[in-house]
Chains A and B, each alone.
Chain A
Amino acid sequence: MSQIRPLFKREFLGYFRSPVAYVFLVSFLVISVSLAFSRYGNFFKNGTASLESYFIFFPWLFMFIVPAVGMRLWSEEKRAGTIELLFTLPITTLEAVLGKFLAGWAFLTIAILLSFPMALTVGFLGQPDWGVMAATYLGAILMAGAYLGICALTSALTKNQVISFVLSLAACAVFVFLGLSSFTTTLESILPVSVADMVSNFSFVTHFDAFTKGIIDPKDVIFFLSLMGFTLFLNVVALER
């Protein structure tokens, strides 16, 4: 497991060696902040000192933004042929998968934490509940990890980055739409309620919502963590096949 460190370091610094990191971080902030101030976010009109209107869009935003980070993880190595170099170094597939995943996750965590000036603004304007805020940040980071697990997996399936992006987007969209009320009502009309409930239980929205209300339910934490574990396991399988 000691080999994870150099792999993590290379991958993580790799984001900053190209313009990718800066383009990504700036776009992420611009989009997320403007959504919060938009007609739909009502950051000001809400009249509450909270970041709820900022975080409410995260499941949607991540659906597009995490595939942008995840698509290159394996596709790029396959295209450039460096995967042959990587897998003839004395490392296991699991170490390679973890090193890359953790690097991507750390990068996404930085993107999320860069919104902290928003939190400070709220703190300056009113009396926010810092506990709720911390829970929301935790939820956002966990959710980003689950999205990234899916994207890393789809990226391992192809050497074409465009295909990788579209596949990731589609897979992430499924996990978002499962929780939409319009979708669940349709589901309930064709499936028994218990089954429909179970299906909508896989939605990121449902699990993330609890965090934004300040509730850290072990059930939600385990949901995101086990989804990461499962996708990373499949990632290893996909690469070893």
Chain B
Amino acid sequence: MIEVTGLVKTYGTKRAVDGISFKVNRGEILGFLGPNGAGKSTTMKMLTGFIRPDAGTATVGGIDVTVDPVAVKRQLGYLPESAPAYPEMTVEEFLCFIAEVRGFCNATAQRERVEHVLGLTHLNSVRNQTIETLSKGYKQRVGFAQALIHNPPALILDEPTDGLDPNQKNEVRTLIKNMAAEKAVILSTHILEEVDAICTRVIIIARGRVVADETPAALRARQPGARLDEIFRTLTA
């Protein structure tokens, strides 16, 4: 479903992403790990067509994102880092706007989608609140809801559980797990337990390069008996 080959992005003299390649099929949940500044968000931005790669290709459903960006964006649900949203809109207005741009122009279809994601992400209690007045966790949920609204075949989530309380973290993980059967999901995270909890595969990147690409079980098998964070430290050091 998602295929990335040799992606490169350079900012000034700094190689943020240095030849990253991987593949994600439907039914897979790929955990994207790496220290701060490793290039996770930059890779996702190239994959979603927000920034142009200096080299390499990214395809979604066989379509190259630089060739037909709109077709790729139609298939993607994307939660950018720190979940940006228009602060002066209410949650409901915002989701209706996204639904409309996503092609749900007919009022009943739009209503139906918005109600559906409001329920999924437990936003009903704040639906009429403006986004600028929401707490961080609720803002994060609005970003998640927005990414799900068109039931996309591919989901790209940049730190989806950042700022959520333990209950919500669990809830979001369960949600992602339940949806994953017919979707390709990439999620970045700094929480190593999350990998064990939901990911079917892990990619660890450091300084713009892939240093591990395997199942969580294989990752553990690298150093039997060691904790995940120890393995992470050895790989990214």
Contact = CB atoms under 8 A, between A and B. Distances in A.
B84 A91 contact: no
Contact of B86 (A9, A14, A89, A92): A14
A87 B50 contact: yes
Interface in A71-116: 80-82, 84-85, 87-92
Interface in B58-87: 70-71, 73-74, 76, 78, 80, 82, 84-87
B26 interface: no
Nearest to A10: B97
A178 interface: no
A204 to B, nearest CB: 32
Interface stretch (B10-18, B98-106, B171-179): B98-106
B49 interface: yes
A87 B49 contact: yes
B50 A84 contact: yes
B193 interface: no
A3 B86 CA distance: 18
Contacts of A80: 84, 86-87
B124 to A, nearest CB: 22
A18 interface: yes
A90 B82 CA distance: 21
A82 B49 contact: no
B87 A89 contact: no
Contacts of A14: 86, 88-89
A90 B86 contact: no
Interface residues of B, number: 26
B45 interface: yes
Contact of B84 (A2, A85, A89): A85
Contact of B88 (A18, A85, A89): A18
Contact of B98 (A5, A81, A89): A89
Contacts of A10: 86, 89, 97
Given A3-B101, A6-B100, A81-B80, A88 B85 contact: no
A90 B80 contact: no
A59 to B, nearest CB: 31
A89 B101 contact: yes
Interface in A1-23: 2-3, 5-7, 9-10, 14, 17-18
Contacts of B89: 10, 14, 17
B47 to A, nearest CB: 10
B48 interface: yes
Interface centre among B100, B101, B102 (most CB of A within 10 A): B101
Given A80-B87, A81-B84, A82-B84, A88 B48 contact: yes
B72 to A, nearest CB: 8
Interface of B: 45, 48-50, 70-71, 73-74, 76, 78, 80, 82, 84-89, 97-98, 100-103, 105, 146
The list of the 5 closest CB pairs from A to B, nearest first, reads: A81-B84, A6-B100, A17-B88, A90-B74, A90-B73
Interface of A: 2-3, 5-7, 9-10, 14, 17-18, 80-82, 84-85, 87-92
15 contacts: A2-B105, A9-B100, A10-B89, A14-B88, A14-B89, A17-B88, A80-B87, A81-B80, A81-B84, A84-B45, A88-B49, A88-B78, A89-B73, A89-B101, A90-B73
Given A7-B101, A90-B102, A92-B70, 20 more contacts: A6-B100, A6-B101, A10-B86, A10-B97, A80-B87, A81-B82, A82-B85, A84-B80, A84-B84, A85-B84, A85-B85, A87-B50, A88-B50, A88-B73, A89-B73, A89-B101, A90-B70, A90-B74, A91-B73, A91-B101
